[in-house]
């Protein structure tokens, strides 16, 4: 199985901060990485697909980049409503696998 390692596991942030988190794949997954946001008590929500494509309606403060084994997800201007856990997921090969998540908390 491809292991997706996310870092950091948690971040203490302030509104307005620029937030960057990483996802490293144990094998080359091309650009087949998506990013999901999960708020407490809710289902995951798609933000970025295929590494760098913003899904419909997602604010442009969310961006993704990377290919191969190293991927980055950035929130350019953190808002209070962005407090959540963020997961990367690879769909390059079965079984599709998720990272352990990065939790954003208020400082």
Partner 1 sequence: QVTLKESGPGMLQPSKTLSLTCSFSGFSLSTSGMVVSWIRQPSGKSLEWLAAIDWDGDKYYNPSLKSRLTVSKNTSNTQVFLKITSVDIADTATYYCARRPGGPRKGYFDYWGQGVMVTVSS
Nearest residue (CB) to partner 1, 20 versus 92: 92
Among 25, 49, 82, 84, binds partner 1 (CB under 8 A): 49
User: Shortest Cβ distance from residue 23 to partner 1 (Å)?
Assistant: 12
Tell me: does residue 89 bind partner 1 (CB under 8 A).
Answer: yes
Contact, 47 vs 54, CB < 8 A?
yes
Q: With contact defined as beta carbons under 8 Å apart, do 63 and 73 qualify?
A: yes
Q: Tell me how many degrees the CA angle 39-80-44 measures, rounded to the nearest 5.
A: 20
User: If binding is defined by CB under 8 A, does position 68 make contact with partner 1?
Assistant: no
- With tokens 């350019």, the residue in question is 76
> With binding defined as CB under 8 A, does residue 45 bind partner 1?
yes
């Amino acid at each position: 199985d491809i292991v997706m390692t996310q870092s950091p596991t948690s971040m203490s942030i302030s509104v307005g901060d620029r937030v960057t988190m990483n996802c490293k794949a144990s094998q080359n997954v091309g650009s087949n990485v998506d990013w999901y946001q999960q708020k407490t008590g809710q289902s995951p929500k798609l933000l970025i697909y295929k590494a760098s494509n913003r899904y419909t309606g997602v604010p442009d403060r969310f961006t993704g980049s990377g290919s191969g084994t190293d991927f980055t997800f950035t929130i350019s201007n953190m808002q209070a409503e962005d407090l959540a856990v963020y997961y990367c997921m690879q769909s390059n090969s079965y079984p599709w696998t998720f990272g352990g998540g990065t939790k954003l908390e208020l400082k």
